[in-house]
């Protein structure tokens, strides 16, 4: 089983639509969760961290369900500029490696294409 | 946010040659730097983690003698792909983090093509 799993998409939606991405992770000891976005042939950029209580940043809402090991990202009123690949990212938990590492594990990403 | 630079952004080399990629944190001290590789339409795969002043820790399946990592200062890490082969062609991305945060700042990546 992959450490972080995402539906690869693509999700093709019209402008203004609401779209939701889901992600599951396998290690229950994971501690930090993020959504990154990656444009074609570019580096990933942090979109938002994900907190247990859920958090919102403008049109973006992230939720975490630790019991189900499930993370979601909701984009409302989607814009053309939202077209990108959205990466679910989980940190490797402490205790299984040197504490100085704290590497991130990336899902394979969900591609979003917003159409006019 | 913090800035990480990578150089070169694109390199084409012949099979058998070595290529060095630099990763610099421009406005913060990066205690840890990570090197990732990404094949087309695939996720980023962690290759190795380096802490300043110590040897890099490589992920399973990554040859340390082929991918030499040096993290000589708090602002610079280098990845050298030795004796490159066409299958090493990929997008190599570094990231850096400071001491007190999980957040990583990514460089713009280096696209390596080995002919």
Q: What is the pLDDT of residue B22?
A: 97
Among A48, A90, A103, A106, which would you mutate to test the B interface (most chain B Cβ atoms within 10 Å of its Cβ)?
A103
Q: What is the pLDDT of residue B29?
A: 84
Taking an 8 Å cut-off on Cβ atoms, the answer to whether B106 and A45 are in contact is yes
pLDDT-flagged residues of chain B (< 50): none
Among A10, A39, A104, A111, which would you mutate to test the B interface (most chain B Cβ atoms within 10 Å of its Cβ)?
A104
Within 8-37 of B, beta carbons closer than 8 Å to A belong to 31-32, 34, 36
Rounded to whole angstroms, the Cα distance separating B74 from B92 reads 20
Rounded to whole angstroms, the Cα distance separating A42 from A22 reads 23
List of chain B residues whose C-beta atoms are within 8 Å of the C-beta of residue A100: 31-32, 51
pLDDT-flagged residues of chain A (< 50): 95-100
Q: What is the pLDDT of residue A99?
A: 44
Nearest to B44 among A44, A49, A98 (CB): A44
Answer yes or no: are the C-beta atoms of B42 and B93 closer than 8 Å.
no
Taking an 8 Å cut-off on Cβ atoms, the answer to whether A46 and B1 are in contact is yes
Tokens representing B49 are 């983690």
Rounded to whole angstroms, the Cα distance separating B10 from B96 reads 20
Chain B: closest CA distance from residue A51 (Å): 13
Strand ranges (DSSP E) for A1-109? 4-6, 11-14, 19-25, 33-38, 44-50, 55-57, 60-65, 70-75, 84-91, 104-106
Taking an 8 Å cut-off on Cβ atoms, the answer to whether A106 and B97 are in contact is no
> What is the interface size between A and B, counted as CB pairs within 8 Å?
52
Is the Cα torsion angle B114, A42, B105, B59 positive or negative in sign? negative
Neighbours of B62 (CB within 10 A): 17
Is the Cα torsion angle B5, B10, B14, B16 positive or negative in sign? positive
**Minimal CA–CA distance to B100: which of A31, A93, A30, A102?**
A102
Q: Which residues pair with B21 in a beta bridge?
A: B79
Q: Which residues pair with B105 in a beta bridge?
A: B96
Q: What is the pLDDT of residue B100?
A: 67
Q: What is the pLDDT of residue A32?
A: 87
């Amino acid at each position: 089983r992959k450490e972080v799993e995402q539906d690869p998409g693509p999700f093709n939606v019209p402008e203004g639509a609401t779209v939701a991405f889901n992600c599951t992770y396998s290690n229950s000891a994971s501690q930090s969760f993020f959504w990154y976005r990656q444009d074609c042939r570019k580096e990933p950029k942090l979109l938002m961290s994900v907190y247990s209580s859920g958090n919102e940043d403008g049109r973006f809402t992230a939720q975490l369900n630790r019991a189900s090991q499930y993370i979601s990202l909701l984009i409302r009123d989607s814009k053309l500029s939202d077209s990108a690949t959205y990466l679910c990212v989980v940190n490797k938990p402490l205790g299984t490696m040197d504490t100085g590492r704290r590497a991130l594990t990336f899902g394979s990403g969900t591609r979003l294409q917003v159409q006019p | 946010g913090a800035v990480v630079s990578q150089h070169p952004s694109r390199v084409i080399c012949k099979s058998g040659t070595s290529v060095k990629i630099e990763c610099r944190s421009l406005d913060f001290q990066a205690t840890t730097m990570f090197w990732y590789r990404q094949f087309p339409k695939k996720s980023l795969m962690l290759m190795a983690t380096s802490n300043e002043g110590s040897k890099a820790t490589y992920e399973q399946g990554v040859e340390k003698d082929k991918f030499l990592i040096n993290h000589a200062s708090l602002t610079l890490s280098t990845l050298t792909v030795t004796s490159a082969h066409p299958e090493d062609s990929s997008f190599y991305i570094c990231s850096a983090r400071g001491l007190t945060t999980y957040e990583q700042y990514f460089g713009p990546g280096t696209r390596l093509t080995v002919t």
